[in-house]
Amino acid sequence: MSSPTPSISPPRPRLALVLGSGGVRSIAALGIADVLAREGLRPDLVVGCSSGAIFGATISMGLDSTDSLALATRLWSADLTQKKRWKSYAQLVAPRLMGFDANFSLRDACLIAHRIEQAFGERCLENLPTPLRVVTTDSMTGEGVVLRSGLVRDALRASIALPFIFPSVEIGGRRLSDGVVSNPLPVSVAQDAEAVIALGFRGSMPRRIDRPSRLMAQVSTAMINNLQQSQMRAAIASGQRVLNFELDIDRRIGLWQTSAMPRIFEAGRTAAQRRLGDIHALLDAADRRAA
């Protein structure tokens, strides 16, 4: 009787690219990936949250910089937020009468769902040229949920489903929403990688508080900024080899300001060029540790 074949663990990713939330600013990741490719360095794993998941998916597809930028422009545009749900305003005024519930949203997600489906079709996370892990949040518990398999389109819709703006997405019997709520810069999700390049952005605080929405923005932005900072500190304290990119990009750029995409892309390229020495040193240290 033959003995069972022992299971073989997959190799650890040598280099992971971790992309946090940041709206249109996250497109700087494409500039970083372009420089890495020119150096013969390609990530073995991409981890994305919110807009970082959208742009990370274009990197995982293995597209060149021109095609990635073109696809990203189609996927992230201001018109995606223009389709209002008029019923939502009635739900705010008369919540019980109009059926206010946990899936409330101010915007209709049909257009963004259509764009994502056009771009990724039936592709699955685990079958992309570079594996992609997408960070989402369980809408009912607040727990972070990492999607490693399944349809790319569903995972991306969930990861950008910002509460109040877009409705949550049901996957595997759970209602999932924007990953920014639980893990805005998910370096911990790449814990198995030998080395990590991380790109995240601190949100800008309102300049003045003169309406309820700005007070809410102030509180939520402070919480997300603090969570991101504590997660980075925890990753470094745990021994992860992380090179954190902090780009000099105007924080006042709007989340959906697509006109800024070309210069943000170039800012990513410039930052990566300047830190090529740090990138190679990071990988050399990881290789010595793995040897």
Q: Which of 21, 50, 51, 60 is catalytic?
A: 50
Structure tokens at 182: 């639980």
Strand partners, 174: 171
Helix (H, G, I), strand (E, B) or coil at 10: coil
DSSP 103-132: T-BSB--HHHHHHHHHHHTT-BGGGSSS-E
Q: What angle do CA 118, 178, 148 make, to 5 degrees?
A: 70
Q: Which residues fall within 8 angstroms of residue 94, CB to CB, at 6 or more apart?
A: none
- Whether residue 248 lies in the annotated active site: no
Angle made by CA atoms 138, 143, 147, in degrees to the nearest 5: 65
CB 152 within 8 Å of CB 132: yes
Q: H-helix or E-strand containing 242?
A: strand 242-245
Distances (CA, A) of 240 to 155, 200, 231: 26, 16, 12
Total residues found in the chain within this entry: 291
Cβ of 217: how many Cβ atoms within 10 Å? 16
SS3 43: coil
Choice among 21, 178, 182, 188 that is catalytic: 178
Task: Tell me if residue 50 is catalytic.
Answer: yes
Tell me which residues are annotated as active site. 50, 178
